[in-house]
Structure 1
Amino acid sequence: MGSTSPFKEKPHSFRRKLLPWTLYACVPILLIRLYFYPLPLSLFPADQINSSTNSVVLNPSSSSASASSPTLKVEEKTHVEVACDYTNGEWVHDKKGPLYNGTNCGTVKVGRNCMSHGRPDVGYLNWRWRPKQCRLPRFEPNTFLQLMRNKNLAFVGDSLARNQLESLLCMLATASTPNLFYANGEENKFRKWHFPSHNINVSIYWSPFLVKGTERSDDKGYNTLYLDSVDERWASEMDHMDMVVLYAGHWYLLPAVYHYENSVLGCHYCPGLNHTEIGFFDVFGKAIKTTLKAITERRGPSGNQIGVIVTTFSPAHFEGEWDKFGACPKTKPYEEGEKQLEGMNADMRNTQVQEVDAAKEDAKRFANLRLEALDVTKLALMRPDGHPGPYMHPFPFANGVSERMQNDCVHWCLPGPIDTWNEILLDIMKRWEGQSRRER
């Protein structure tokens, strides 16, 4: 018989021999490839690389990374970047939980420290906002510190501005310790911290109206606002600010008399006074317009770049009247469609967004001025479980259940949903940095 082909008679035997030969040949080639062409940065955790809205890539850092490293890299992208729509999303369960522990963050105001006040449920800590059309990375403190190196950041507004500030300080403190070096005013409403690792100053300015105003007192039950004048208690230091985060809203719901161009424009809920009732929506818009105009006129022509963030209205969640022991007992977020953004909440938010959009158009003539609305109204509306409630007081039920107890359903527990605001803030900052580098 003639010879037969080994490929036909013993196919499995040949394959057994071929496989190790292939591996022996591929391994050296792979090692040579890795030596000369290291793996791409995409092997690092995605949250540390970039988001759907920006192309800035800071050196990947973790709790063991150097907080003072200035390394900054930028990925070039060929497509046009579009800002993330943070309003369209949902709260999803998150096992990782918060970045910090409220019991050991020394900058939290007592009434926001829900964990140390004995709040028994901790489920509110395990939710994360997930936009539907883009990805919101987790907060990376070293990235924030690197972007703000040698700069001054100011929060201006009411107690919600302070709430957001304290959230940021707690998250940054996991990477670098801030030192309080200035405190002034009632309840230290004007304070400044310094991060020596990156030479950063972070400040809080109490200005509940953003414009010039006088808060109501015992003998005068209404606020007095001057809608055409910015509040100089913070604006006088504007030249020293590299970024300013503005928040105002809830104080505009209170009784007030409004002045504009040296005359009384009207009032909101001022029985007994001979003024026209005009509500507060239009007034609120005028105040935002005046504030952004003042920043544009004072900083636009100068050479120093400034970023301006307007955090939109944060809804309250009282079940009942806030001043008649209304409470916020829910322990889970609303599901999509369960709660609509409407009425006053929508009107306040829309007013801010419209004024920011108008100011952005005006600011286009200045390359050194950036403005953005930090649109948190919808995602905040969905979190009725994130407020201190009765735990604005330490262990409120230690001596039995109280039927009538003041609840805080306006501010946010720390840690809590408000940490998401600063995740969005950092995402905006990274996008701005990417734009700035492409413009150079």
Structure 2
Amino acid sequence: MGTNFPQSHHLQTTHLSLPRKQFLSYVLYALLPLALLHYLLFNPLAAPKPPLLAQPQAREAAPSQHRHAPVNALEEQLPPPPPAPGRGGEALGETQGGDVSASGSASPPCDYSDGEWVPDARPPLYDGTSCGTIKDGQNCMAHGRPDTGYLHWRWRPRRCDLPAFSPEAFLRWLRNRHLAFVGDSMARNQGESLLCLLASRSRPDLVYRDGEENRFRRWVFREHNATVSIFWSPLLVRVAEKAEHAGVRHNNVFLDSFDERWMSRLGGIDAAVLSVGHWFLIPGVYHDGGRVVGCHDCADLNRTETAFFGAFKEAVRRTLAEVARRHGADSKLVAVTTFSPAHFEGDWDKAGACPRRHPYREDEKGLGYTEKEMRRTVLEAVAAHAGAGPLRFAALDVTRLANLRPDGHPGPYMRSDPFAGGPDARVQNDCVHWCMPGPIDTFNEILLQTVAG
């Protein structure tokens, strides 16, 4: 080391003593290789290009690995990040597949109806003891349902992400707002699911209740100045409900008259979720313009049988048109949940009415005619009003994902200890509504993406 440094220093001083012309030549020869090296390293046109398929193949690999991940591996994964404000889960300027159109506009919103149920080891946000708003008949855990596998599935759309439900994000949106669930017992089921999901972070106070089985209720999340209401309106339009104890087994449905119990209150509501369907399968007589225009399951009335699909279509179409007429200039959200199928496989009063303990695959269970028609009716009615003004209509398309979950109903566990009378006892089963927690919580995952969109 001691002899090298003086030698190097001597060489530098020697070069400085050369004639100027010769010195400039040496400098030029030294700079040319450096310039060429800089060109090769930093010029993007000269740099070698990666294969065109390298990135797409990498993107394809991730979903494939995720699809076959074991349950214990899924437990380690964090939920996707919350959606960017105003984009329903997409980053600004990006489509669901990561491509941007030539105009820079994004692709249509996620189609949450197309997907599959995949294992998910994460526990639900609430249980049958931690939430006080569950209707007794849907409290499967408290009633002793022995299996818990129905709790550990999540819905995965095929072409986009459905983030796990974020109570914090929903409460931020709900601050200073009033959200109402309007419809039949499925609307109540979904409304109570949302209340339980939110109660995992903030306690709601019940401030109003009225009607048989508390059909009209209202809660307030005081720390957020947020309100959630449930309005009973099983056909959306006005109905004189059946009363079998009085010998009246038919609903009298007035297609040209609206249910003002909720319609007249819509002015003070910021968002409404409408959900009806199953009551149209009940025997009914349909009135329009002061006369009977049809009836369903009414042979005892000596009238010509009418399919209920027409009445369902008219009720949904006229209701949305009336909402648009009354509130078309308002900035509100009106979401309509599509039909949620039942899964009876046996008699309603026998064990095994809905016995399955795993979801169906799509190739195992397609939609029946009734489910297809009722789903199509809602989608068409919502589409007819889309983009007409500040009043926003949206469809919560849950029919397909609900159709694949025969394991998620209370079955006999709509009551505590249902088999206390022995295995042959007459036991009522519920294969229509959903256990809570259960698949219906997914309805509200989609609702969160809808309100945030």
Q: Which residue of 1 aligns with 2:139?
A: 113
1:365 Cα deviation after fit: 3.5
Per-residue CA shift, 1:7-54, capped at 9, x if unaligned?
xxxxxxxxxxxxxxxxxxxxxxxxxxxxxxxxxxxxx96623328993
1:261 Cα deviation after fit: 1.7
**Is contact 2:88–2:449 with CA below 8 Å preserved after alignment?**
no
- Alignment of 1:265 with 2:298, yes or no, is no
2: CA distance, partners of 1:276 / 1:261: 19
Three-state SS of the structure 2 residue aligned to 1:404 is coil
The match for 2:193 among 143, 160, 167 is 167
Three-state SS of the structure 2 residue aligned to 1:197 is helix
Written as runs of structure 1 = structure 2, the 5 A alignment for 1:135-146 is 135-146=161-172
State which drifts further: 333-342 or 131-140. Answer: 333-342
Three-state SS of the structure 1 residue aligned to 2:209 is strand
- Alignment of 1:225 with 2:253, yes or no, is yes
Written as runs of structure 1 = structure 2, the 5 A alignment for 1:2-401 is 47-50=80-83, 54=87, 79-217=105-243, 218-301=246-329, 304-322=330-348, 327-360=353-386, 364-366=387-389, 368-401=390-423
Provide the identity percentage.
53
Three-state SS of the structure 2 residue aligned to 1:180 is strand
Three-state SS of the structure 2 residue aligned to 1:310 is strand
Quick one: which amino acid aligns to residue 229 of structure 1? S
1: CA distance, partners of 2:320 / 2:88: 28
1: CA distance, partners of 2:367 / 2:174: 34
2: CA distance, partners of 1:314 / 1:334: 15
CA 1:245–1:420: 2 relative to 1, 3 Å: same
Q: Which residue of 2 aligns with 1:416?
A: 438
**Is contact 2:116–2:158 with CA below 8 Å preserved after alignment?**
yes
1: CA distance, partners of 2:302 / 2:288: 16
**Is contact 1:244–1:307 with CA below 8 Å preserved after alignment?**
yes
Q: Which residue of 2 aligns with 1:405?
A: 427
1:98 Cα deviation after fit: 1.1
2: CA distance, partners of 1:379 / 1:150: 32
CA 1:55–1:279: 2 relative to 1, 3 Å: closer
1: CA distance, partners of 2:406 / 2:364: 12
Give the structure with higher Rg (CA): 2
Q: Which residue of 2 aligns with 1:22?
A: none
Per-residue CA shift, 1:152-200, capped at 9, x if unaligned?
1000001110000110000000111100000001111000000111111
Per-residue CA shift, 1:129-158, capped at 9, x if unaligned?
000001000000110011111011000001
CA 1:323–1:276: 2 relative to 1, 3 Å: farther
2: CA distance, partners of 1:94 / 1:398: 33
Three-state SS of the structure 2 residue aligned to 1:209 is coil
Three-state SS of the structure 2 residue aligned to 1:272 is helix
Quick one: which amino acid aligns to residue 135 of structure 2? K
Structure 1's unaligned 5+ residue stretches are 5-43, 58-73, 432-440
**Is contact 1:229–1:290 with CA below 8 Å preserved after alignment?**
no
1:228 Cα deviation after fit: 1.7
2: CA distance, partners of 1:289 / 1:233: 19
Q: Which residue of 1 aligns with 2:448?
A: 426
CA 1:356–1:325: 2 relative to 1, 3 Å: farther
2: CA distance, partners of 1:365 / 1:104: 42
**Is contact 1:48–1:140 with CA below 8 Å preserved after alignment?**
no
State which drifts further: 391-400 or 241-250. Answer: 391-400
CA RMSD of aligned residues (A): 2.2
Q: Which residue of 2 aligns with 1:27?
A: none
**Is contact 1:216–1:223 with CA below 8 Å preserved after alignment?**
yes
Three-state SS of the structure 2 residue aligned to 1:202 is strand
**Is contact 1:180–1:194 with CA below 8 Å preserved after alignment?**
yes
2: CA distance, partners of 1:55 / 1:75: 10
Per-residue CA shift, 1:365-412, capped at 9, x if unaligned?
42x211111000000000000000000010112343235311000000
2: CA distance, partners of 1:162 / 1:55: 25
**Is contact 1:255–1:270 with CA below 8 Å preserved after alignment?**
yes
**Is contact 1:270–1:277 with CA below 8 Å preserved after alignment?**
yes
Per-residue CA shift, 1:404-424, capped at 9, x if unaligned?
311000000000000000000
Aligned residue pairs: how many?
Answer: 368
CA 1:359–1:322: 2 relative to 1, 3 Å: farther
1: CA distance, partners of 2:315 / 2:85: 33
Three-state SS of the structure 1 residue aligned to 2:129 is helix
1:322 Cα deviation after fit: 3.9
1:323 Cα deviation after fit: 6.7
**Is contact 2:231–2:262 with CA below 8 Å preserved after alignment?**
yes
1: CA distance, partners of 2:298 / 2:149: 43
1:315 Cα deviation after fit: 0.3
